[in-house]
């Protein structure tokens, strides 16, 4: 007996032979639902789409299939027609189609899909190949660990269909690398997979135009932002898309508290909000140094919106040292702890050790203080440029502390009003620059060794 998956594959081949286009995500869901005897309203609910919309897509689909089969096909008779034509009951033993002749009103499938037996024996792929456009995404040469993060993200996106996800973390921690690895792993669940960096701060109009070009390359650019938005949302409804927008911090103001949109960029807020509110099967991932506004007030149980803070690599970071041919393996853990497992910071430091200490980690550690190589320092300059004066004052105070401190302690020694201090601390938390821990129901704040050293180098020398 041919199962549903095989019928869908067959339908996809027939439709694409006729129209030149594969079945999209929703069309496939409608066929599957019909074969399972389900109503439009059920299918719509499962697809997070409105019933009217599913009906529209369905009726167009039956028209196409009617032309393919040469007789009128509707949701009611689809199954019966397949059974009549012995396709549904066709005994299928995992052989390629072209070894059996399936005739449906003289349509000869073998001529549509010449396949070799080897291909057919491979595990079933999704019927449609995703359209992948990664733009100027960097190439990944090596990838270590991140198993937990990848599993979490796959569950949120593929299983739960979370619409908006933020990957947050300090520069160099591995957000871009993780997002690209995730794409490799889950791309076959999507019709479209897109990566775009916002590093040059494009306006929302520019971003939407850029995305629209991917969905319909020949279309004329539209000026009206409302139309652009509704077109994109339409595409997100019709196709299952995975879109990664990287470097989202470039939409936020420097010199203001974290996550405040630059002037002229406020409409991104509306865009991100619409992505969570409107029903569609697609997902948008935002990579950022700063927590976007949208994520400040939300509950983790909200399925439409989730946030993952990326921490440093642990043991896997040793692979970086192996690559750099560093020596003294027994000291490697100290290096990982000092540089917070941040792969970029570790790469910079490994380069320095290789060049100046001929790879000897123990000689390097004998220097006593935490050494920040010039590129590492420059990397942190970029992040510190974004802080407010109050935030810098808090960082300077924390750099002087040897132990984690709690709020009343900081307030006592600083010349800031309580509200300015609290806002600055909260903003530094949203920038992932401040460590926090809880002891006896009190929150304590601290700077990690690298940030502490950076503040000392920059402000105390």
343 lies in the site for ligand ATP, by CB under 6 A: yes
131 forms beta bridges with: 192
Q: What angle do CA 302, 304, 310 make, to 5 degrees?
A: 85
> Nearest distance from residue 174's CB to ligand ATP, in Å?
3
> Nearest distance from residue 289's CB to ligand ATP, in Å?
6
Distance linking the first and last C-alpha atoms of the chain = 78
Please check whether residue 183 is in contact with residue 244, taking contact to mean a CB–CB distance below 8 angstroms. Answer: yes
Closer residue to Mg ion in complex, CB, 176/235 = 176
- Candidate ranges 172-180, 236-244, 260-268, 292-300; the one touching Mg ion (CB under 5 A): 172-180
- Candidate ranges 78-86, 128-136, 171-179, 182-190; the one touching ligand ATP (CB under 6 A): 171-179
How many angstroms separate the CA atoms of 268 and 204, rounded? 6
DSSP 181-194: HHHHHHGGG-SEEE
143 lies in the site for ligand ATP, by CB under 6 A: yes
Q: Where are any strands of DSSP class E within 73-179? A: 103-104, 107-108, 131-133, 164-168
- Lookup: tokens for 53: 């919309």
CA 360 to each of CA 225, 326, 420: distance values in angstroms, whole numbers, following the listed order: 57, 6, 46
176 lies in the site for Mg ion, by CB under 5 A: yes
- Candidate ranges 40-48, 116-124, 174-182, 255-263; the one touching ligand ATP (CB under 6 A): 174-182
**Residues 305 to 334 in contact with ligand ATP, rule: CB under 6 A:** none
Q: State which residue has the least CB distance to Mg ion.
A: 176
209 lies in the site for Mg ion, by CB under 5 A: no
How many angstroms separate the CA atoms of 76 and 35, rounded? 10
Closer residue to ligand ATP in complex, CB, 29/167 = 167
Which option in ligand ATP, Mg ion, none does residue 173 bind, with CB closer than 5 to 8 A by kind? ligand ATP
> Nearest distance from residue 435's CB to ligand ATP, in Å?
18
Closer residue to ligand ATP in complex, CB, 44/173 = 173
**Identified binder of ligand ATP from the candidate list 27, 162, 177, 235, rule CB under 6 A:** 177
CB atoms within 10 A of CB 236: 24
- Lookup: tokens for 345: 């910071």
Please check whether residue 64 is in contact with residue 18, taking contact to mean a CB–CB distance below 8 angstroms. Answer: yes
What 8-state DSSP symbol labels residue 249? G
Composition of the chain by helix, strand, coil, percent to 5: 50, 10, 40
Closer residue to Mg ion in complex, CB, 140/358 = 140
Residue showing tokens 């020398």: 461
Q: What is the largest CA-CA distance in the chain?
A: 87
Q: State which residue has the least CB distance to ligand ATP.
A: 174
196 lies in the site for ligand ATP, by CB under 6 A: no
Please check whether residue 137 is in contact with residue 180, taking contact to mean a CB–CB distance below 8 angstroms. Answer: yes
- Candidate ranges 136-144, 151-159, 213-221, 253-261; the one touching ligand ATP (CB under 6 A): 136-144
Which option in ligand ATP, Mg ion, none does residue 34 bind, with CB closer than 5 to 8 A by kind? none
> Nearest distance from residue 429's CB to ligand ATP, in Å?
17
- Using CB under 6 A as the criterion, what x/- string covers residues 216-255 for binding ligand ATP? ----------------------------------------
- Candidate ranges 2-10, 90-98, 299-307, 343-351; the one touching ligand ATP (CB under 6 A): 343-351
349 lies in the site for ligand ATP, by CB under 6 A: no
**Identified binder of ligand ATP from the candidate list 33, 130, 169, 259, rule CB under 6 A:** 169
How many angstroms separate the CA atoms of 439 and 433, rounded? 20
What 8-state DSSP symbol labels residue 284? E
| Contact set with Mg ion (CB under 5 A) | 176
| Contact set with ligand ATP (CB under 6 A) | 142-146, 169, 171-177, 289, 343-344, 347
């Amino acid at each position: 007996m041919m199962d549903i998956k095989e019928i869908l594959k067959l339908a996809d081949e027939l439709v694409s032979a006729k129209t030149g286009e594969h079945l999209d995500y929703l069309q496939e869901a409608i066929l599957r639902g019909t074969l399972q005897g389900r109503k439009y309203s059920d299918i719509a609910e499962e697809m997070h789409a409105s019933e009217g919309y599913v009906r529209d897509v369905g009726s167009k689909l039956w028209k196409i299939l009617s032309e393919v089969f040469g007789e009128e096909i509707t949701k009611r008779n689809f199954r019966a027609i397949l059974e009549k034509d012995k396709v549904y009951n066709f005994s299928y033993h995992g052989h390629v189609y072209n070894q059996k002749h399936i005739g449906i009103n003289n349509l000869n499938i073998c001529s549509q899909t010449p396949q070799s037996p080897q291909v057919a024996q491979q595990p079933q792929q999704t019927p449609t190949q995703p359209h992948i456009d990664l733009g100027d995404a960097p190439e990944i040469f090596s990838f270590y660990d991140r198993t937990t993060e990848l599993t979490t993200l796959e569950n949120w996106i593929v299983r739960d269909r979370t619409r908006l996800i933020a990957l947050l973390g300090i520069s160099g921690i591995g957000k871009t690398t993780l997002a690209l690895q995730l794409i490799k792993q889950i791309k076959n669940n999507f019709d479209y997979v897109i990566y775009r960096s916002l590093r040059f701060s494009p306006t929302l109009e520019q971003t939407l135009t850029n995305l629209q070009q991917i969905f319909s390359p020949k279309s004329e650019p539209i000026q009206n932002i409302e139309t652009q938005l509704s077109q994109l949302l339409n595409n997100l409804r019709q196709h299952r898309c995975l879109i990664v927008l990287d470097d989202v911090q470039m939409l936020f103001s420097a010199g203001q508290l974290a996550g405040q949109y630059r002037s002229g960029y406020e409409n991104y807020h509306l865009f991100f909000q619409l992505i969570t509110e409107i029903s569609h099967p697609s997902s948008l991932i935002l990579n950022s140094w700063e927590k976007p506004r949208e994520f400040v007030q939300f509950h983790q149980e909200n399925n439409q919106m989730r946030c993952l803070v990326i921490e440093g690599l642990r043991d896997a970071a040793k692979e970086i040292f192996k690559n750099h041919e560093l020596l003294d393996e027994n000291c490697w853990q100290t290096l990982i702890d000092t540089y917070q497992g941040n792969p970029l910071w570790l790469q910079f430091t490994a380069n320095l050790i290789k060049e100046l200490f001929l790879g000897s980690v123990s000689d390097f550690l004998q220097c006593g203080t935490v050494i920040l190589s010039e590129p590492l320092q420059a990397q942190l300059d970029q992040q510190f440029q974004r802080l407010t004066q109050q935030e810098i004052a808090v960082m300077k105070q924390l750099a002087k502390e040897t132990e984690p401190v709690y709020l009343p302690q900081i307030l006592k020694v600083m010349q800031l009003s309580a509200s300015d201090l609290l806002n600055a601390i909260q903003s530094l938390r949203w920038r992932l620059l401040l460590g926090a821990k809880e002891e006896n129901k009190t929150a304590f704040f601290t700077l990690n060794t690298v940030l502490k050293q950076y503040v000392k180098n920059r402000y105390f020398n």
